Amino acid sequence: MSRGAVLVTGASSGIGLAIAQALLAEGFSVIGLSRSAPKGLGEGFTHLPVDLTDPVALTAALGDLPPLAGVVHAAGLLRVGRHDAFDFTDGARMWQLHVETSARLIGALAPRLSDGGRIVLIGSRVARGAPGRALYAASKAALSGLVRSVAAELAPRGITVNIVAPGATDTPMLRDPERASEAPKLPPIGRMIRPEEVAATVAFLLSPLAGAITGQEIVICGGASL
């Protein structure tokens, strides 16, 4: 028997795919929002093709969803550049995907979540600042204010709202040629974060045992922030 349906954005690859796999293994059904469909996730997975940065398309995709137990916004975009070479087009794209899409998802879906539901946004350790990543960091840092504000509003309904903020994670985005000028640094544990480790933390936040955790940012950094 399904534990309920969870919406996961960016489910076609990387952290989003790992989250979809973990939640399916935990007995949830998963509705994945992404441009392309992942393969091999089985009967418990439903794919809805959508450009998350298109407000009209996103609103239409959210209109016919079944009742949800949770929402996970894992889709992300990383573009790098120093302060003297900002690409404000890229900055606007990151802000739209990370912040505006988060707000649209929360605004549309929180009223329809069952009491005791869960919302998790994938942030980044870089939100605390890193050379060459200022515009990306700004878009991820904004999630903290968003999450803490919404968490306070939804707490009376038992709905939790949290951020899982990984460091450099071994995903296709890490190997994107667009970031070649600002290569990721290996954390002190001697390896990159694994998508499955991020997914396991998200799955815990969706579990009954995490009902008292809300408005928080959980950092998975392999010691990089020490």
Q: Which of 28, 45, 95, 136 is catalytic?
A: 136
Compute the average pLDDT of residues 210-219: 98
Q: Which of 123, 6, 25 is nearest to 72 (CA)?
A: 6
With b for 16 or more beta-carbon neighbours within 10 A and e for fewer, the 199-221 pattern comes to bbbbbbbbeeebeeebbbbbbbb
Write out the E strands in 74-191.
Answer: 113-122, 160-166
Which residues 6+ apart lie within 8 Å of 111 measured at CB? none
**Is 136 tagged catalytic?**
yes
Contacts of 62 (CB under 8 A, 6+ apart): 105, 108, 109
> By the 8 A CB rule, do 82 and 114 touch?
no
For the chain, domains (ranges, CATH) are: 5-220 (3.40.50.720)
Neighbours of 91 (CB within 10 A): 17
User: Is the pLDDT assigned to residue 160 strictly greater than 80?
Assistant: yes
Give the rounded distance of the alpha carbon of 138 from its chain centre: 16
- Model confidence at 123, in pLDDT bands (50, 70, 90)? very high
- Report the predicted TM-score, pTM, of the whole model to 2 decimal places: 0.92
User: What digits encode the pLDDT tens for the residues 16-60?
Assistant: 999 999 999 999 999 999 999 888 898 899 999 999 999 999 999
Contact at 8 Å (CB) between 178 and 79?
yes
- C-alpha to C-alpha distances, 98 to 163, 184, 202, nearest whole angstrom: 12, 20, 17
Pair 160, 205: CB distance under 8 Å: yes
71, 206 in Cβ contact below 8 A?
Answer: no
The pLDDT of residue 70 is above 70: yes
DSSP H helix total and E strand total for the chain: 6, 7
**What sign has the CA pseudo-torsion 51, 56, 60, 65?**
positive
Output the CA torsion sign for 165, 168, 174, 178: positive
pLDDT band, residue 138 (cuts 50/70/90)? very high
